[in-house]
Structure 1
């Protein structure tokens, strides 16, 4: 792992994209978080991240089938992506998040 460099899953056709494009004049990417939701950041719930590209691609394939939408892999980097705060490194215990939103309570 090189510093704060991670692979994340994205959903290109998230329903809020047209609204955000109109309001902000740009696309706001959506990444999979630990609750199985698509989020612009990991401020409330950490984003799921991978350090291995092949593992991230495998997770994207599983999520695409489960969600019936194309899920892709991209990368994020920077000091704002801190393990334990805004990001959570994927483990098999997080598999449920690939398939959709779930309530942890």
Structure 2
């Protein structure tokens, strides 16, 4: 059994990448979170995840069109990805997060 295996959206052209390379000597992936922001982890706000690769690809297409930057799909796995804590399974109610930042406070 693979355990916690999910598809996530990633923006390889995120603006913080050059800064992270300079300070940390490596690139840190940025995943789409529930608030429509790109985050390295789901510690503060859960990352959006999909269990179906085709649905994730469709979401990536929507996000690419809305944000005018390439958004792609990758996979993540591991015990740190816990539904309700660090990840949130995408539903139609989360559609706005694909287009941009949301203020959910």
Could you say which TM-score interval applies, normalised by the shorter chain? over 0.9
Match of 2:78 in 1: 78
Q: How does 1:1-105 map to 2 (within 5 A)?
A: 2-105=2-105
| Number of corresponding residues | 105
Alpha-carbon RMSD across the aligned residues, in angstroms, is 1.1
In structure 1, runs of 5+ residues without a counterpart are none
TM normalised by structure 1 equals 0.97
State the Cα distance separating 1:2 from its structure 2 match: 4.0
Q: Partners in 2 of 1:5 and 1:23 — Cα distance?
A: 30
String of CA shifts for 1:15-68, please: whole Å, max 9, x gaps.
000010111111100000000000000000000000000000000000000001
1: CA distance, partners of 2:34 / 2:2: 22
Structure 2 unmatched runs, 5+: none
TM-score with structure 2 setting the length: 0.97
Query: C-alpha separation between the residues in 1 aligned to 2:69 and 2:15?
Result: 12
